[in-house]
Amino acid sequence: MSAIPVTVLSGGLGAGKTTLLNHLLRTAGDRELAVLVNDMGQVNVDAELVAEGSDLDAGGVAELSNGCICCELQDDLETAVVRLAREREFDHLLVESSGISEPEPVARLFTTSSRVAARYDLDALVTVLDTRRFLDAFAGEDVPERRTDPDEADRPLSDLLIEQLEVANLVLLNKVDLCEPDELEEAEALVRALRPDAEVRRTEFSAIDPDELLGIDLFDPGQLGEGAGWQRALEGVEGESETSETDDRDRSHDGHGDHDHRHPDEVYGVDSITVRERRPVHPERFAAFLRELPDDVVRSKGVAWLPGRDAKVDISQAGPSVRATSEGPWIAALPDVQRDLYRSNRPDLAWHDEHGDRRTELVFIGTDLEDEPLRSRLRDCLVTDDEWERAEALEDPFPGEDDEAVVLRGP
């Protein structure tokens, strides 16, 4: 029996994901669909789409008038999708990932060695954006509402938008009728900067030809955890290559490295700046720098080297939100045997004779970024020789190895 194709849908509240589901149910044609959702009430399946008298049965499944199946996600996701494949016949599965947090964990269920992966084949990850709200969230004009998941109460909506966008194969810029033409160009440029490989479609009321969304075979298992715009910038995938670490050392003084920066082709003012430093940042000055990032920085991501620490700190900024998490030790801080083993397994790892892999490495993506002011402000965050020597005495607002994430800025 051939595997059943799966499309994972994600999108913020009010983006138009429910409208998209209903549109696909109405226009599926000869396709028989299964729709797996969190809450039937949220799906808002119209009476004309639901077979007469077909309330959800004990298994959480309703038959729809066009032969489609709608299943409430009462069960564990893995159990629910296996049960659907065993008990029903259908041509395509749509999984709505809202409420589960972000689409990547859902995608992994269909790509790992499991009873689910044996029955299904992931077709595409689709993200629906409210274009107006997307622009407002990343232009500093509007403070997005917080997420409704009580376990994620401290995370703003901008974080979820980025997580949904940076794994998408297909992005629907929805509600385009509410935006001006130049705003649509800016929104599309931002999407392409944040997720270079995604296909983009502009929609009103989530109306799209089902042939452009179902059976499009865009998902690549190797994409999970890869392919976001910030990763491309750090890896130097586009544009001219980054300056080598050897050249950095040749041009440095007392461990200082010049700021590497790269601008991909500028389209509608969207560009990126990549920065690498082989000197620690002062914790308080660096925290202040992150809190004061200008509004035109849409996304920044990377790692920071803090003096006196063996652990790297991960920095993640999405619009108004800036979070820091401890990400485990630098390879250079590991015992000799373990360190050498890591290095032998990663021959491409950039290594400094004195500092090893310790570095501050950040990419900034945004609109009309001012390169030199940003680099200058970050350069001011580097520790002086005296501060480096007394690192343990410096005030440090960043999380320790066993601490929870620290919100440095947020609505």
Q: What is the mean pLDDT of each run of 10 residues along the chain (411 residues)?
A: 88 82 86 73 40 42 52 64 83 73 78 78 94 79 42 56 88 95 91 90 96 94 68 54 34 42 49 90 97 89 94 89 91 94 89 94 86 92 95 92 87 62
Q: Please say whether the beta carbons of 166 and 194 come within 8 A.
A: yes
The pair of three-digit structure tokens given for residue 3, joined into one six-digit string:
């595997």
**pLDDT score, position 291:** 95
Which ranges of 330-393 would DSSP assign to H, the alpha helix?
Answer: 336-345, 371-379, 385-389
Distance between CA atoms of residues 120 and 4, nearest Å:
5
Residue 205: which domain range?
4-223
DSSP H or E run through 365: strand 360-367
* Same structural domain, 193 and 209: yes
* Same structural domain, 155 and 294: no
The pair of three-digit structure tokens given for residue 234, joined into one six-digit string:
């750090």
* Same structural domain, 53 and 179: yes
Q: How many domains does the chain have?
A: 2
Residues in the chain: 411
Q: What pairs with residue 272 in β-bridges?
A: 365
* Same structural domain, 287 and 217: no
Domain final residue pick, 223, 252, 285:
223
Domain final residue pick, 201, 223, 245:
223
Distance between CA atoms of residues 93 and 80, nearest Å:
12
Domain final residue pick, 223, 250, 269:
223
**pLDDT score, position 98:** 54
Q: Give residue 98's Cα distance to chain centre.
A: 14
* Same structural domain, 165 and 306: no
**pLDDT score, position 330:** 95
* Same structural domain, 211 and 251: no
* Same structural domain, 211 and 270: no
**pLDDT score, position 314:** 94
Three-class SS state of 262 = coil
Q: Give residue 87's Cα distance to chain centre.
A: 34
**pLDDT score, position 207:** 95
* Same structural domain, 184 and 217: yes
Tens digits of residue pLDDT in 115-129: 777 889 999 999 999
* Same structural domain, 177 and 250: no
Distance between CA atoms of residues 157 and 179, nearest Å:
21
* Same structural domain, 14 and 42: yes
For Cα atoms 276, 282, 285, give the angle at the middle one, nearest 5 degrees.
Answer: 100
Residue from 329, 312, 325 nearest 406 by CA = 325
CATH of residue 243: 3.30.1220.10
**Alpha-carbon dihedral sign for residues 327, 333, 337, 342:** positive
The pair of three-digit structure tokens given for residue 329, joined into one six-digit string:
């030790």
* Same structural domain, 311 and 376: yes
| Exposure class string for 157-174: b at 16+ Cβ within 10 A, else e | bbbbbbbbbbbbbbbbbb
What angle, rounded to 10 degrees, do the helices at 181-194 and 157-165 form?
70
